Amino acid sequence: MGTGSIAPPRSSTLRSRLLTALSGDPNGTPPWVRALADGDDAGYFADGGAVWTVHAGTSTLIAGIRALLIQALHPGALAGVHDHSRYRDDPMGRLSGTVRWILCVTYGSTAQAQRETARVGRLHQRVRGTYDTADGPRAYTAGDTDLVEWVHLAFTEAFLGAHEIWGGPIPGGGDAYVREWAQAGRLMRVANPPETEAELRARLAAFTGELRRDERVDEVVRFLRRVPLPGSMGVSYRLLFAAAVASLPREYRKLLGLRRVPLPVITLARLALAASTRALGAGPRAQDFARERHARLGFPPPVSQD
C-alpha cells in the first residue's frame, strides 16, 4: 500500500553490507521498512523534529555501541542479556531487531509503533531470572520498573551524546530530543521518563550506587570490542568501538575499566561516518517511506529536511 513510487536502486558493496547489518536486508527495505509508508497518521514524531534528526544520522552506529556499554553496568539489565540474549550466536540478528524497533517507533504510524513495541514486549516476557546484589540474590524480569528505566536512560544518553559529537544541530536542542524520546519510554512503560537533559543526568546519577563491573561485564566488553564481522566491516567496526569508548562520560569509562586509545578516533570516526552517510544516501531510507505516508495523508513537508 502506497510504496510503489520507491524502488530500491542497485546497492553498492558498502551500502549493501551496512543495510544487511542494520535491517537484515541488502537493500534496507524488508517488509517492516516498506510498511512505514502505511498507516493513517503522522506517527509520534514530527518530520524535521529532534528525534527524526538524531535517528537519521550515522552517529547512531556509534550510539548503539555506547548504549550497550552503559547498559551493561547495571547487573539486572546485564543478567537479562547474559541469560537470554542471542548476541553471541547472532549479533547481527540482535542488532537488526533493535534497529527495527527504533525505526518503527521513530518513523512509523502510531499503530505500527505500538505493534512493534508489543512484539518486543512479547519477546521480553520470557526474560526473567536472578542476579546477585550486595544484599543477596534478587529476582528480576525484563519488565521491572527500574530495569526498563535504566535501558531507556542509557539509550537516550548514548544517542544524544553521540549526535552531539558527530551530528549536526538538533532542532530545539538536547532538551527537545529528551522530551520527544520520552514518548518511546512511555511506550515501553517507563514511569515518568525525563524530559530535559538535566533531568536525564539526574536520573542516570541516581543509579550510580547500583552499577558495577564484574566478569559478565568484562565478557560483554570483550565481545563488543571484536564483534565477528568480515573483512573491512570488522576493521571499521573496531574504529567505531574505539570512538564509542572515547565518547563515554569518564565515570562510565572508568567503571567499565576502559581507556581511550592514543589515536584521534573522534576525527577518524567522523571520516568513517561520512563515508557511511554517502553510501546510505544512495538509495531509499526509512524516513523516505514515512514521508510517502505523510504526503499521502496531506501533511506538508518540513521547511528543511535531512
Q: Is residue 256 situated within a structural domain?
A: yes
> How many angstroms separate the most distant Cα atoms in the chain?
59
Summarised one tens digit per residue, pLDDT across range 186-230 is 999 999 999 999 999 999 999 999 999 999 999 999 999 988 887
Give the least confident one: 132-141, 180-189, 207-216, 293-302.
132-141
Q: Average of pLDDT values for 37-62?
A: 96
To the nearest whole number, what is the mean pLDDT of the chain? 89
In a domain, 302, yes or no: no
Q: Is residue 2 part of a domain?
A: no
Tell whether 80 is covered by a domain. Answer: yes
Residue 133 in any domain: the answer is yes
Q: What confidence tier does 248 reach under pLDDT thresholds 50, 70, 90?
A: very high
pLDDT at 284 over 50: yes
Grid cell 563491573 in the structure block, residue: 213
Q: Where residue 3 falls among pLDDT bands split at 50, 70, 90? A: very low
Q: Which amino acid is at 195?
A: E
Q: Which residues constitute the domain of residue 198?
A: 13-297
Report the domain count for the chain: 1
Distance CA 3, CA 6 (A): 6
Share of the chain above pLDDT 90, in %: 69
Integer Cα distance of 160 and 170 in angstroms: 9
10 pLDDT more than 60: no
Task: For 56-101, write each residue's pLDDT tens digit.
Answer: 999 999 999 999 999 999 999 999 887 877 666 666 667 788 899 9
The answer to whether position 279 is within a domain reads yes
Residues in Cβ contact with 291 at an 8 Å cutoff, skipping those fewer than 6 apart: 47, 301, 305
208: region left, alpha or beta (phi > 0 left; psi from -120 to 50 alpha) = alpha
Residue 304 lies in a domain: no
In a domain, 305, yes or no: no
At 39, which amino acid appears? G
Residue 126, phi then psi, degrees to nearest 5: -90, -5
